[in-house]
Amino acid sequence: MSFEITHKISDLIASSKLWIGDGYRAKNTELDATGIPFARAGDINDGFHFTSGDHLPEEDAWKAGNKLSEAGDVVFTSKGTVGRFGFVTEGIQRFVYSPQLCFWRSLDCEAIFPRFLFYWIQGKEFYRQYKSVSQKTDMAEYVSLSDQRSMEITLPELSSQKAIAYILGTLDDKIELNRETNETLEAMAKSLFKSWFVDFDPVRAKAEGRSTGLPDEISDLFPDSFEDSELGEIPSGWQVNTFEQICKSIYSGGTPLTTEPNYWNGNLPWFSSGETRAPFVSRTEKAITPLGVNESSTRLARKYSTVIASAGQGHTRGQASMLLLDSYVNQSVVVLEARKEISTEYYIFFDASRRYDEFRRVSDSSSSRGSLTTKILGSLLTVNPSQEIQDLFRRAVELHIEMIASNLRETDSLVQARDALLPKLISGEIRIPDAERMLEEVGI
């Protein structure tokens, strides 16, 4: 690597090249349902996802001072779930840092290139330093501001910082593009589901003598009137069934036999409730060994099953995902497998994914522990269209699902490439021209 110097963070702060800050400790009376969202540790995961619902009113933005996000900020979760990182781009809405977060802000981009700083903070030099000072409080791990300000950083010359940021950023940009594409594909499929099976747009149009806007062969499959049901007005001839009636099987996962040596270093996918934050799952965060699987209580869920978090912290319970692989599932997950002669797996997934609020409400009222049990799920009612229309829906969305799966597989490869390159580029173990050639070889 080119010429580089190790700096004390405190010196960079004193010379107004860098600033490290923490979050704003808001009073409950300052919080509102609208305004500038607060970012918490749980929101920093493959981007920024503002799920807490807490906001600071726009007119009170001055109270947060410099604890409002700015483009170029590098975010570090310093309390609780320590070691998550985020980079604030121009396209991310302004947010307020919570006390669980710290941010590193370059004040001189000619000395510290912001996106290089984002990759450096994920490297070995920062990892060794924060691990050596991380403290265990009564509740959670914690890295203080003073600890961070007493660290050191090795900076190459600006041209090398920009080159490293470009190489790793190119991979991250492709990863982000895949994520955005998948969000669009998912939204298109959900929009079609809502139109056909929630709002009943084709049936309503025919009942009112209007065109459905669909080809005749498709439009003819929809009825032209409504009838009363337990769920209110539904298209004539469609049925109301329980999930138990339209599913071949509804079951919970279990606890794997973790007493086996190296149990978590296996090759069998193992899915947990926290992973339902992603609507489609092509890989799991953990894998287990074959040893003891048959003797343990964990269950194997088949590809295209709908998996729903039956328990979990925060907003997890009630979230639904579709498995794009066979996977064992843990005890906090309920699996719904479609009965082929009655319903399609795509229909079940899109129906379940829209009923998050209902799932949480019924589990709170029906279970003393607030769990979404198999019995509760199995008893819930759903509209069951004709098999012909469900098959039509399958054909309409299956290409979307295949493209989503392909993008997820590509993203997994890109993440592996980025994670392999990052420490070697930051440490100088691999030269920039060699890394650039690697990008060309994979077509990036």
For residue 265 the two structure tokens come to: 């270093």
What pLDDT shows up at residue 1? Answer: 42
CA nearest neighbour of 309 among 268, 267, 352? 352
* pLDDT averaged over every residue in the chain: 90
pTM for the structure as a whole: 0.84
Asked whether 226 and 234 are in contact (CB, 8 A), the reply is: yes
| Residue 440 identity (one-letter amino acid) | E
For residue 5 the two structure tokens come to: 């110097």
Q: Does 258 score more than 70 pLDDT?
A: no
Residue scoring higher pLDDT (148 or 444): 148
Residue scoring higher pLDDT (425 or 42): 425
How confident is residue 262, by pLDDT bands cut at 50, 70 and 90?
A: low
Range name among 102-106, 209-213, 430-434 with the lowest pLDDT average:
430-434
3-state secondary structure of 204: helix
Helix (H) or strand (E) holding 383: strand 381-384
3-state secondary structure of 230: coil
Task: State the virtual CA torsion across 118, 121, 122, 128 in degrees, nearest 10.
Answer: 180
Q: What is the pLDDT of residues 48-70, one digit of tens each?
A: 877 767 899 999 999 999 999 99
Give mean pLDDT, residues 158-172.
94
Tell me how far apart the alpha carbons of residues 212 and 406 are, in angstroms, rounded to a whole number. Answer: 32
Helix (H) or strand (E) holding 141: strand 141-142
What pLDDT shows up at residue 368? Answer: 66
What pLDDT shows up at residue 293? Answer: 67
Domains belonging to the chain, first-starting first, are 4-156 (3.90.220.20), 239-384 (3.90.220.20)
Beta bridge partners of 265: 287
Asked whether 167 and 21 are in contact (CB, 8 A), the reply is: no
Radius of gyration (Cα) for the chain, nearest Å?
A: 25
Q: What is the pLDDT of residues 289-317, one digit of tens each?
A: 876 566 667 889 999 999 999 986 667 89
Tell me how far apart the alpha carbons of residues 361 and 53 are, in angstroms, rounded to a whole number. Answer: 18
The b-or-e profile of 212-249 (16+ CB within 10 A means b, else e) is bebeeeeeeebbbebeeeeeeebbeebeebebbebbee
Q: What is the pLDDT of residues 77-135, one digit of tens each?
A: 888 778 889 999 998 999 999 988 999 999 999 999 999 999 999 999 999 998 888 76
Q: What is the pLDDT of residues 372-423, one digit of tens each?
A: 999 999 999 999 999 999 999 999 999 999 999 999 999 999 998 899 899 8
Asked whether 102 and 62 are in contact (CB, 8 A), the reply is: no
Question: What is the maximum alpha-carbon separation in the chain?
Answer: 77
Q: Does 42 score more than 90 pLDDT?
A: no
Q: Does 323 score more than 70 pLDDT?
A: yes
Give mean pLDDT, residues 17-37.
91
